[in-house]
Amino acid sequence: MRSSWRLVAAGVTAALVVASCGTSGAGEVAQDPKAPLELWVRTTPGGDGEKGMKKLAAAFEAASGQKVAVTAIFDDFETKLSQRAAQKDLPDLVLNDSSQLGTMVSQGIVREVDLAAIKGSDQLLEPALAAGRAGDGKTYGVPYSAQASALLIRKDWRAKVGLPVPGSWSALAELAKAFTTRDPDGNGKADTAGLAVPGSTKRGYASWYFSNFLWAGGGDFIAAQPDGKYKPTMSTPESVAATTWFRDLACTAKVVQPGAATMDTPPTNETFEAGRAGMYVVGPYLLPRFDAALGKDKYEVVPMPAGPKDATVLAEGGSVYLMAGSANRAGQDAFASFAISAEGQKLGMAGEKAFIVQLPVNKSVDISSVRPDPRWKVYADAYAAHGRYAPSIPNWTAVRQSSADTINALIADCSLNVGEELKKLDGKLGEALTQQGIAAS
């Protein structure tokens, strides 16, 4: 799977780089401040995400008079973007994951953001703003939404087994064992697991999920050096220990749901809401779904238990990317300004389902004023105190995918030696860093 991904990535990058030669010089494009804006967002067509984005775009149109056409794309997003780049006809705006910044910058399809032209940029939370900076220190993405991970627990199951909310990894493992072996749903069958894990290699899910444990354990995928370069660190004692502990949940304690190594997020979501697993580490975007499927009284949202190092969790978010070659740069700036304004943030958070802002990035917006549900405050506190973004390297996807392949193999084949596999992974990560020109000597 990794080989096929590399081929696709190489093809997409080549197409974009070639196309961007004619689009990155946005200053050469004749400007029309009234030109309609074309906005692409990575979300399911017809879904709540598209509805939320159209609501935000409509409010922006009403406030500015600027027309915005919203296109929602989920499948083959990068391929379709490359096709438009090849035609030298990129959309004006793309709302995409913050973790895609390095890739999009290296492809030459986004323009640098002039923060002075983005009204309200001085109100952005620093962690979110930092996620919009590339390795060269320049800003290429305007964050509009943030999120972090927390632990969902079947509250009724925990009451049944009589254990407290876990505050450490050992307590988490103990609760997971109880959920697996003590029939917490009371049906008389051995059909429950302690922890739901999306362990698939698809889109690097295994690595994405595991990062919450790796960082809290003091390990890392790669580490920045004083000269700004990076070196692989998956074979360090801390990374090996964290990986071994996580792997043992599946191979020794056997508290992870069956088939985890083949599951991405959709079936893992179903595993939790169907009552086949009692805990799940995930962001706040699934709360409406699980409220409807389980009921708010059946599960609780708590901070991640501290690992050997601390309680670091994965922080993510979405950014507004101002695409190269736009004929309406003023309109691009205006939309980004609206998206991060207090009005835009509150509108983006509004609603039970069709919301596009998970946690606000504008420091003047208190999430509790929009969402009084205290569970959202758990996520906001986790982001503020313990959230960590993936580094803005030219291609973080390559690091995540190689890491996912190894983590997936370790939980799928319990005969593999953790230390040996992580040494091999460091070799692959070293190659990826060298290819990106950021490997430490």
Q: Write out the two tokens for 48.
A: 């709540």
- Looking at the 3D structure of the chain, how many domains does it have? 2
pLDDT at 1: 32
Query: What is the reported pTM?
Result: 0.90
Residue written as tokens 């003091």?
218
Q: Is the pLDDT of residue 6 over 70?
A: no
Task: Give mean pLDDT, residues 277-298.
Answer: 96
Task: Give mean pLDDT, residues 148-162.
Answer: 98
pLDDT at 229: 96
Pairing between strand 222-224 and 230-232?
A: antiparallel
Residue 304 and residue 241 in one domain: yes
3-state secondary structure 176-238: HHHHHHCCCCCCCCCCCEEEECCCCCHHHHHHHHHHHHHHHCCCCCEEECCCCCEEECCCCHH
Question: Would you say residue 169 lies in a domain?
Answer: yes
With beta carbons less than 8 A apart as the criterion, state whether 100 and 393 touch: no
CA distance 277 to 372: 28
Task: Give mean pLDDT, residues 396-405.
Answer: 97
Pairing between strand 150-154 and 299-302?
A: antiparallel
Percent of the chain with pLDDT over 90: 90
- 175, 176, 181, 185: CA torsion to nearest 10: 80
Residue 42 and residue 101 in one domain: yes
> What φ, ψ does residue 42 adopt, rounded to 5°?
-80, 95
CATH code of 43's domain: 3.40.190.10
Q: pLDDT tens-digit profile of 75-97?
A: 899 899 999 999 999 999 999 99
Residue 18 and residue 53 in one domain: yes
Mean pLDDT score across all residues of the chain = 93
Q: What angle do CA 195, 234, 429 make, to 5 degrees?
A: 115
pLDDT at 427: 98
Q: pLDDT tens-digit profile of 198-254?
A: 999 999 999 999 999 999 999 999 999 999 999 999 999 999 999 999 999 999 999
With beta carbons less than 8 A apart as the criterion, state whether 26 and 325 touch: yes
| Helix pair angle (237-251, 418-435), 10° resolution | 120
Q: Which residues of 292-312 are buried (b: 16+ CB within 10 A; e: fewer)?
A: ebbeeeebbbbbbbbbeeebb
Residue 121 and residue 241 in one domain: no
Residue 276 and residue 411 in one domain: yes
DSSP secondary structure string, 346-374?
A: HHHH-SSS----SB--BTT--HHHH---H
Task: Give mean pLDDT, residues 410-432.
Answer: 98
3-class SS of residue 95: strand
Residue 133 and residue 160 in one domain: no
Q: pLDDT tens-digit profile of 330-384?
A: 999 999 999 999 999 999 999 888 899 999 999 999 999 999 999 999 999 999 9
Question: Quick one: which of 92, 109, 91 has its CA closest to 101?
Answer: 109
CA distance 112 to 324: 9
Residue 296 and residue 219 in one domain: yes
For residue 338, give the H/E element and its range: helix 329-340
Residue 28's pLDDT band, with cuts at 50, 70 and 90, is confident
Size (the chain), residues: 441
Q: Is the pLDDT of residue 55 over 50?
A: yes
Could you list the residue range(s) of the whole structural domain that residue 15 is in? 2-146+315-388
Residue 23's pLDDT band, with cuts at 50, 70 and 90, is very low
Residue 70 and residue 121 in one domain: yes
Residue 101 and residue 175 in one domain: no
Residue 83 and residue 49 in one domain: yes
Residue 295 and residue 157 in one domain: yes
pLDDT at 423: 98
